[in-house]
Amino acid sequence: MGPAQKREDPDWVKAAAASHIYYRVPGMDQVAVRKDLPYKTTADGPLLFDIYHPAEQSKAAPAVILIHGGPIPPNLLTNPKDWGLFQSFGRLLGASGLAAITFDHRFFGLDKAPEAMADIQDLFSHVVSNGKALGVDPARLCLWVFSGGGVFLASFLRDTPARVRCLVAYYAVLHASTPQFSAAVQLAETSAPIPPVLIARAGRDLPQLNEGIDCFVQQALKKNVALDLLNHATGQHGFDGRDDDERTRDILRRTVEFIRIHLNAE
């Protein structure tokens, strides 16, 4: 970002920054949070992450890495990890006995996708290398992608590290014209083992986005992947923070249970 560029939030970012997920469990207010930890230094300064922990943590916790979508403007006043939506996700997971990591990456345009992918890989490596100091079990990780962040799932599907025990995608872009960033293409072409996958789909989303999800699902079935598909038939894109209804809560509850089962399995 150029030094003269004013920081500001468009309306959709203001909405995300002020929102929260429509699901709560006991103990969310007691979750421990460590904020603004650097994982990488760039020409524009450090890239930061936050980590949420169970309030009474006696040992390293399995961890969920939440990967935000985009593209986003490079001059945001409120970066994604500081949006209320992701803060509430962090607290939900922390209160559910898991560590949660929210972070910023530089998905500032489709042409910046390789740069953002490098950031995500560097965050992943940082968590693995510093698991003990972070209170995280680096052998029990889940990747959870949202919206445009789905394009970054492709890299992990080409050769999924054994430490990634499960994958979650919410209203995510899972097929793209560029094979490098198409989870559906990479899934079809890989011969590597694929961990269990949960997909949440919003029925009122953009047709082309849902068509990409459907393409991924078909490839997953051909590969006999352990797949959970949760469809919110009346849900909007971003239903977790936009649709205050029982189906939203049911999907969020079932997602947390899915993650807990696979991260705690021996």
Structure confidence by residue, pLDDT tens digits, 118-144: 999 999 999 999 999 999 999 999 999
57 versus 93: which is more confidently predicted? 93
Q: What are residue 25's phi and psi, to 5 degrees?
A: -130, 160
For residue 216, give its domain range: 21-264
d(CA 175, CA 23): 29
Provide the number of structural domains found in the chain: 1
1 occurs within a structural domain: no
What residues form DSSP beta bridges with 38? 48
pLDDT at 4: 58
* Token pair 């949960």 in the structure block, residue: 198
53 occurs within a structural domain: yes
pLDDT at 3: 54
At 248, is the secondary structure helix, strand, or coil?
A: helix
- 36 φ/ψ sector (left φ>0, alpha ψ -120 to 50, else beta): left
CATH of the domain at 94: 3.40.50.1820
240 occurs within a structural domain: yes
What 8-state DSSP symbol labels residue 171? S
9 occurs within a structural domain: no
Tokens of 43: 């020409």
d(CA 186, CA 172): 15
Mean pLDDT, range 149-159, rounded to an integer: 95
d(CA 42, CA 155): 22
16 occurs within a structural domain: no
Q: What kind and span of H or E run contains 33?
A: strand 32-42
pLDDT at 71 over 90: yes
153 versus 158: which is more confidently predicted? 153
